[in-house]
Amino acid sequence: MTDLLGPAVSPATVAEAEAAQEELRARVELVSGLRGWPVTVAGLDVSYEAGSSRVAAAAVLIDVATLATRESAVVTGTASFPYVPGLLGFREVPILLEALAKLTDRPDVLVCDGYGIAHPRRFGLACHLGVVTGLPSFGVAKTAFTATFEAPETERGQWSPLLDGAETLGRAVRTQSDVKPVFVSVGHRVTLDEATDLTLALSPHYRLPEPTRRADALSRAALRPAGQDARRVSPPGG
């Protein structure tokens, strides 16, 4: 089928992808589109198979107040774009959209595994997904990327700014006391304060927010043959 949207959706080269990001960044809205505290949030994540291009994407819809899982969807497919730092969106957005489409209810906000605005061209995965879906979104990354930061105080809830010179791109947030911080940045139609508060509300027990934790587990399990979940098969030596 003809790709009517061109490079903005499926770039053929790194140069085209970077150019597309420069175009798409103009569509990011740095104001809140939330109507008060959200009722539901969808956590998203993608898992990869070792020596192949097979991937699995999961979307888990969670009730923010109770953290109960309302519904979840998982889909397997093939990665159509290589991993290139700064271009993660082109690799994961397509299959994540498929997983999102399988959800019955529309989430109030998306939580992504990676960065939003704290990106070389200010258009990380969370911005990409937000712009394409029109939904509020933000990212929670596990490791540092482009910005500089000082370690936040060690108590849960403490944070320090992610900086690029004088520009604030996000926050290093301590979701658990004495545990490495996570990196929160805005994606689309969400403020940094909202993203920070949500990250903390969604991470009562572990370092990572429940939505992305559950999406990670689901996508990972989807790559395993049926019947081998949480069980060891063909142990070395018989």
Residue numbers at the binding site for DNA (CB under 7 A): 45-50, 83, 85-89, 113-115, 119, 124-126, 139, 141-145, 220, 223
Backbone angles phi, psi at 147, to 5 degrees: -80, 165
Integer Cα distance of 178 and 153 in angstroms = 9
Nearest distance, CB of residue 117 and DNA, angstroms: 10
Integer Cα distance of 50 and 178 in angstroms = 32
State which residue, 88 or 173, has the beta carbon closest to DNA: 88
State which residue, 68 or 154, has the beta carbon closest to DNA: 154
Q: Which residues are annotated binding-site positions for Mg(2+)?
A: 45, 113
Q: Which residues are annotated binding-site positions?
A: 45, 113
State which residue, 94 or 114, has the beta carbon closest to DNA: 114
Nearest distance, CB of residue 85 and DNA, angstroms: 4
Do residues 111 and 135 make contact, with C-beta atoms less than 8 angstroms apart?
A: no
CB within 8 Å of 31: residues ≥ 6 apart: 189, 191
Nearest distance, CB of residue 176 and DNA, angstroms: 12
Q: Residue 88: which region, alpha, beta or left (left: phi > 0; alpha: psi -120 to 50)?
A: alpha
CB within 8 Å of 153: residues ≥ 6 apart: 174
Instruction: Starting at the earlier edge strand, list the strands of the sheet with 69-78.
Output: 69-78, 54-63, 40-48, 109-112, 137-141, 182-188, 167-173, 159-164
Q: What is the CA radius of gyration of the chain?
A: 18
State which residue, 37 or 52, has the beta carbon closest to DNA: 52
Nearest distance, CB of residue 1 and DNA, angstroms: 26
DSSP 228: -
State which residue, 103 or 223, has the beta carbon closest to DNA: 223
Nearest distance, CB of residue 60 and DNA, angstroms: 15
